């Protein structure tokens, strides 16, 4: 009789941080370079930006269709941010966790709180959350201004929202003070690698 192989339950990794913190880049890069990780694509009611594609960058939905899916209980979380609805579909998460895949979610603090409040043990037991902090206000403003496509009023709103979001960093298990892309990615990978070794995730 051959010995049964060890298996691992998937991690549901929530990654939050203000706009410009690099959270989306971290999630996408990790999922593209690690075969055991997938990036959960969010749904949103905002219009696509230049080059963004439906089903790749986001699931772009009308507000009516988004709200229909909310009523049908299809979201693991959703929230209104900057005047638009954002959410994560259960279909993007649950089945993959059961397969032993790690699901990475780029998510705002409202959405993270909703996921933490889920009663489903499959979600609660798999949860890991990470907050990405800019090193200082000057760097935050620089990163927010980087796109160069927004009015001053829009930029001011994003800055206010970013500062508000940063008040919640202590709600997270891990906080990463951002420096450069390579250092951030190395730290991020170290956290995931450590979480994968937790005995509570292993079974035969």
Structural domain boundaries in the chain:
7-40+101-203, 41-92
* pLDDT of 186: 97
**Does the domain formed by 41-92 have CATH 3.30.63.10?**
yes
Residue 8 to residue 197: CA distance in whole angstroms: 9
Residue 48 to residue 25: CA distance in whole angstroms: 17
* pLDDT of 98: 87
- In degrees, to the nearest 5, what angle opens at C-alpha 131 toward C-alphas 200 and 173? 30
Exposure of 90 by Cβ count < 10 A (0-12 exposed, 13-18 middle, 19+ buried)? middle
Q: Tell me the C-alpha to C-alpha distance, in Å, between residue 145 and each of 150, 154, 166, 179, 195.
A: 8, 10, 18, 17, 34
The answer to whether the beta carbons of residues 77 and 116 sit under 8 Å apart is no
Q: Which two tokens stand for residue 39?
A: 């990036």
In order along its 204 residues, the chain shows pLDDT tens digits of: 456 788 899 999 999 999 888 899 999 999 999 999 999 988 999 999 888 999 888 999 999 999 999 999 899 999 887 789 999 998 889 889 988 999 999 988 988 999 999 888 888 899 999 999 988 878 877 877 766 666 778 778 888 888 899 999 999 999 999 999 999 999 999 999 999 999 999 988
* pLDDT of 13: 97
* pLDDT of 80: 86
* pLDDT of 48: 93
Pairing between β-strand 202-203 and β-strand 7-8 as defined by DSSP bridges = antiparallel
**Does the domain formed by 7-40+101-203 have CATH 3.40.50.300?**
yes
* pLDDT of 148: 62
Task: Say what the pTM is.
Answer: 0.83
54: helix, coil or strand? strand
Residue with tokens 């905002």: 46
* pLDDT of 1: 42
């Amino acid at each position: 009789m051959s010995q049964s192989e060890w298996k691992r339950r998937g991690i549901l990794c929530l990654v939050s941080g203000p706009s410009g913190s690099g959270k989306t880049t971290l999630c996408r890069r990790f999922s593209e370079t690690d075969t055991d990780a997938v990036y959960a694509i969010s749904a949103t009611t905002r219009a696509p930006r230049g080059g963004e594609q439906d089903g790749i960058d986001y699931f772009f939905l009308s507000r009516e269709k988004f709200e229909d899916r909310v009523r049908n209980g299809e979201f693991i979380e959703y929230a209104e941010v900057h005047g638009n609805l954002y959410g994560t579909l259960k279909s993007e998460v649950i089945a993959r966790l059961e397969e032993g895949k790690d699901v990475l979610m780029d998510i705002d603090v409202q959405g993270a709180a909703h996921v933490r409040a889920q009663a489903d043990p499959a979600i609660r037991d798999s949860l890991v959350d990470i907050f990405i902090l800019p090193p200082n206000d000057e760097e935050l403003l620089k990163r927010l201004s980087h796109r160069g496509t927004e009015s001053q009023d829009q930029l001011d709103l994003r800055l206010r929202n970013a500062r508000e979001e940063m008040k919640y960093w202590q709600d997270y298990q891990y906080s990463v003070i951002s420096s450069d892309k390579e250092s951030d990615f190395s730290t991020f990978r170290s956290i995931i690698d450590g979480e994968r070794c937790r005995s509570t995730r292993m079974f035969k």
